[in-house]
């Protein structure tokens, strides 16, 4: 089964419903994840980032939203060696993106699903694709040969 790491921006769009060109594809993708068409992984640190970004929302709604993500996705841990590897990776301009890549490697993911593929281009060890590209791959894998 294909395994993908869901970037923070994708998870955030999913739980908040914020307008995004990929919104419909994100919802479809997460529905397919719930049907076990692929395994979705979420970096543990994404939860605290989303908690912070939603700080103006009702606390119980925030907790429920994060619980929804935890129910749907498998969490990838924040191990000391992962954090150190991300800190040492000078090719990434954004430390959070380096952490996403390290978690994807640790979880043996096939892809990182993000709306900002350029942030991973050239330095990520795991290929970064958009939610739309993931849906295309899943559709191709279901087409009989």
pLDDT at position 113 is 98
- Nearest-angstrom CA–CA distance, 132 and 19: 16
Total tally of structural domains belonging to the chain:
1
pLDDT at position 144 is 60
Which two three-digit tokens encode residue 142?
């279901």
CB 97 within 8 A of CB 81: no
Which two three-digit tokens encode residue 3?
């395994």
- Nearest-angstrom CA–CA distance, 95 and 101: 10
Q: What sign for the dihedral angle of Cα 24, 4, 39, 76?
A: negative
Q: Is residue 145, in this structure, part of any structural domain at all?
A: no
What one-character-per-residue DSSP string does 6-54 give? EPHHHHHHHHH----TTHHHHHHHHHHHHTTSSEEEEEHHHHHHHHHHT
- Nearest-angstrom CA–CA distance, 29 and 40: 10
pLDDT at position 142 is 76
Number of residues that this document lists for the chain: 145
Q: Which residues of the chain have pLDDT under 70?
A: 78, 143-145
Q: Is residue 11, in this structure, part of any structural domain at all?
A: yes
Element (H, E) at 124: none
- Nearest-angstrom CA–CA distance, 95 and 87: 7
Q: What is the CATH number of the domain that holds 99?
A: 3.40.50.1010
pTM: 0.92
Q: Is residue 107, in this structure, part of any structural domain at all?
A: yes
- Nearest-angstrom CA–CA distance, 1 and 18: 29
Domain range for 119 is 3-140
Q: Is residue 115, in this structure, part of any structural domain at all?
A: yes
């Amino acid at each position: 089964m294909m395994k993908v790491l869901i970037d923070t921006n994708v998870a955030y769009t999913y739980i908040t419903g914020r307008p995004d060109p990929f919104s419909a594809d994100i919802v479809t993708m997460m529905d397919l994840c719930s049907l076990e068409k692929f395994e979705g992984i979420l970096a543990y640190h994404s939860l605290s980032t989303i908690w912070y970004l939603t700080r103006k929302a009702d606390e119980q709604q925030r907790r429920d939203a994060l619980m929804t993500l935890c129910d749907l996705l498998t969490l990838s841990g924040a191990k000391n060696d992962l954090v150190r590897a991300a800190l040492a990776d000078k090719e990434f301009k954004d430390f959070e993106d380096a952490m996403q890549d390290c978690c994807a490697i640790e979880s043996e993911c096939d892809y990182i699903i993000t709306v900002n593929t350029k942030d991973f281009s050239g330095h990520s060890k795991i290929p970064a694709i958009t939610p739309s590209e993931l849906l295309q791959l899943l559709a191709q894998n279901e087409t009989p040969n």
